[in-house]
Amino acid sequence: MSRLPLFALALFVLVPADSARAAWQYKTSTDPFTDIRSHAATLVVKDGKNSHALVVRCNAGTLESVVDLGKALGKKPVAVRWRIDKGDPVQEQWAPSADGKSVLAPDAAAFARLMARGQTLAFEATSNRNVTYLVRGSLAGSAEAIRRVFTACGLPATE
C-alpha cells in the first residue's frame, strides 16, 4: 500500500466533516400522565468536556426560550449577556430553571425570533456565585425548527 492513501486516510479521520457538526433538531413528546404534547427545537453545543443546549419549546401553549448550561447557576435571577450575529450585546436578568442549571428568557418569543433570523449566538451567564459561563453556537438551520414550535404553540413566527 502506498503512503499517499494512508496520509489521505489520516487526514480524513483528523479533520471533521461539516456534516458531523451539530444541527438544530425538532422533536415532539407526550407527557405520559397528562397527555399534554410538547414541542421543542434544540441545539446541543459541545465545548470541550461541557455540553450546553439552546432550546425553544412549547408546553401546553406556553412558549419558553431556554439556555441550558448544565452548571449550577443558583435560584435567584441570573445576569446574562447575549449577542446575535454582529448586533449590540444585550444585558438582562433571566430566571433560573427549577434545577438551577438553565435560564429562561424574559421574552421567550422575541428571543426565539431573533435566534431564527440569526447565524451565530454568543451567550454568557454569571451564576449567583459570580462564576461566568460562555456558550457560542451556530443558529444556522434554526429558523425551520423554531417556526415549527411557534406553529405548534399557535403563535406567529414573525412579528
What CA–CA distance (Å, rounded) separates 96 from 127? 10
* Cα–Cα distance measured from residue 101 to residue 17, given in angstroms and rounded to the nearest whole number: 31
Per-residue pLDDT of the chain (159 residues; tens, 9 = 90+): 444 443 333 333 333 333 334 689 999 999 999 999 999 999 998 877 888 999 999 998 999 999 999 999 999 999 999 999 999 999 999 999 999 999 999 999 999 999 999 999 999 999 999 999 999 989 999 999 999 999 999 999 887
Cβ-proximal residues to 119 (8 Å cutoff; 6+ apart), any chain = 85, 138, 139, 140
- Give the count of alpha carbons within 13 A of 37, CB side only: 6
Return d(Cα 114, Cα 94) in angstroms, integer. 17
Contact predicate 43/54, CB 8 Å: yes
Instruction: Give the whole-angstrom CA distance, residue 23 versus residue 133.
Output: 22
Structural domains for the chain: 3-153 (2.60.40.1880)
Q: Which pLDDT belongs to residue 114?
A: 96
Q: What is the pLDDT of residue 82?
A: 98
Query: CA dihedral in degrees (102, 45, 110, 83; nearest 10)?
Result: 100
